[in-house]
Structure 1
Amino acid sequence: MWGSGRVRRFVYQTALLLLIAAVAGYAVHNLVHNLQSRSITMGFGYLTQEAGFDISEKLVAYDAGRSYGRAFLVGLLNTLFVSACAIFVATLLGLALGIARLSPNWLLRKLAGGYIEAVRNVPLILQLLMWYGMLTELLPPVGQAWRIGVAYLSQRGVTLPWPEAHDAWWGALLGIAAAAVVSLLWSKRAQAVQARTGRLLPVGWPSLLAFVLLPSLAWAALGAPTNWSQPALAGFDFEGGKTISPEFLSLFAGLSIYTAAFIAEIVRGGLQAVPKGQVDAAQALGLSRAQLLRLVMLPQALRVIIPPLTSQYLNLTKNSSLAVAIGYPDLVSVSNTTLNQTGQAIEAIGLMMAVYLAISLAISGLMNWYNFRVRLVER
């Protein structure tokens, strides 16, 4: 029997699994023993206890009387929000820089190259501290805030008018989401019609019309509110309006600018991977440079760009945990406060690990689905 390769593989793999199980069992036993010797109880019951601390920035209702679970949710939403905003801006900026790196204009090409080399070779934590220092040291105090149009710039951040709470604004947001779906479906239909008949259907102005019409109809149907909360200086702070804190601005700028440098190199590599014959053929047909990029190079380059771009999205989301260095109340910051107050270190760290794992898997799944859609299908 030992002479059979299948038997040997089975024995080796079984032995490895038993060894892993033994090591894991020893670790769990040792952990339980140490916790019991220190009279430390495990469990997630602490999430229902009163937190007793406030959070400076929150996307949902929260106060110090809420539970630790609610505080954890606030930190999670803050992480997701800043990561989503930074991913969007970093993608657009990285795409523009990647195209600029291949521009025939010498100055534009060198400026883009200088930006990329300067940004990606400086640690992100230093860039976050730089942005935070600039916003808190160079801007004036609240009493001497700079007014730019309807907004104010000060050490407290950017304060600007904000619509008063009303269901119509949520309806407008749903209208924007519906417009995005309608625009996507119309674009797919236009492509199908072109492939079947050769007839070009307009895509730009119908999409623009959807983004204007659907939110406006939802806003009007739910009451068409026009009241805005205007910021006004009262003592040492502003009353009314909406203030975007320097912590959020620093984290958002740092993540966007840093990640855009890496995305730019990914875009450049993807564009250069397109066969030169494709470019020559497009130029022979008389396509402009913009048409060449939009219709020929970018669709083919996406197959090369998407896999490494996924890694950059994952890195950006995980790098958002550096927010603790500048005081932004993200998931890690809130969890650290919870850990220090409750002593439930294993549970708090385990929850953070599980959440970041779930976010990373969700991003990977979405990007892999998109990569599957744009893959090259062989006949």
Structure 2
Amino acid sequence: MKHTAVDVIRTKRDGDVLSDAQIDWVIDAYTRGEVADEQMSALAMAVFLNGMTFEETARWTQAMIDSGERLSWPVPTVDKHSTGGVGDKITLPLAALVATCGVAVPQLSGRGLGHTGGTLDKLESIPGWRAQLSTEEIRAQLSDVGAVVCAPTTGLAPADRKLYALRDVTATVECVPLIASSIMSKKIAEGAGALVLDVKVGSGAFMRSIEDARELAKALVAIGVAHGQKVSALLTDMSVPLGRAVGNAVEVAEAVDVLRGGGPSDVVELTVALASEMLSLAGVSADPATVLASGAAYETWEKMISAQGGDPSAELPSPKHVHVVAAPRDGVLTRLDALGVGVAAWRLGAGRARKEDPVQAAAGIICHAKPGDVVTAGEPLLELHTDTPDAVDGALASLDGAYEIGDEAAARDGLVIEVVRG
């Protein structure tokens, strides 16, 4: 039977279930350019409005995997994926930590868009470090060092790359089947033996409610299981920025502190929680908390950065302009909104509005206080870093109402809300 884009669009527009053959054809035809962007836009909107069954979503994922190459690695591997947050530098200490514990980590990462930071943008603030590696270079680094963080190879899930860009400009991003298939097509194609997902929940996350985050986590895990993947998902709190640094170079510096056995307690907590889950899925018995506290993972970090041309001992970029936001009164910081801080950092130059926009390596925010900390009137609360002083007013506008100071703070629960396993 010969398929047409119009027939596939009509099927989903009318709320019917797409057949395996329809899904295989439309993804392949779109990748080849036979289906036009405006036709795929219409199909994406139909999916957004009418949803997909689990079977459709699993098949859609497989079709996107099949649009490109599927990688394999010379050693046992485990990977992690975060749905994105503010101050989320966890990949940096995590990859080195898990590799130090004995399991290789091929972390193919992305760049930031909007208020959520990108791992590659952070690492590119290190002088000389390069994101683009060949498959052969990735394999060699996994064997020699045990960890690699780099950009995806160009042959990986090209259908997803096209569709991802299209969803961003057609208001079809917030759709669980399309999100789940996008994430899992790339991760399964990357070929890791096991996968742990960090699904963020809260104001600074893509999923604001626990119900939406749980739905996404269950969909991601189910797709992984259907494709023979060892996979689990942690739902983690993103109502407050992670750590005290938000930006690029400032987050690298904080990650290095963690790797040397220090750093903020929340970054350490989440790094250890994700490492424990990754090692468990990989069948390795190790105590990541002890390894991290010892500073042993920092040696792996140095090798990882050096292998990609970076100088781990080089001085990180510093901002041309610093603006300090002082505490307006004595008391306890009761709230620090992740979204407000994330948007402020973006406006300072730490993020981008479009994929082709540049980012400032030195831009970002240092949070001198986190919820629960005692603050003193006139003392630094937030420190804004930028190379463009004109951006400060916009950042301050984003921070208006983003923090509150009271007389006492409510107790906060741990970062990990719940775990979804296959």
TM-score tier, shorter chain, comes to: under 0.3
Flag the structure with higher helix content.
1
Flag the structure with higher strand content.
2
TM-score, length-scaled by structure 2: 0.21
Larger radius of gyration: 1
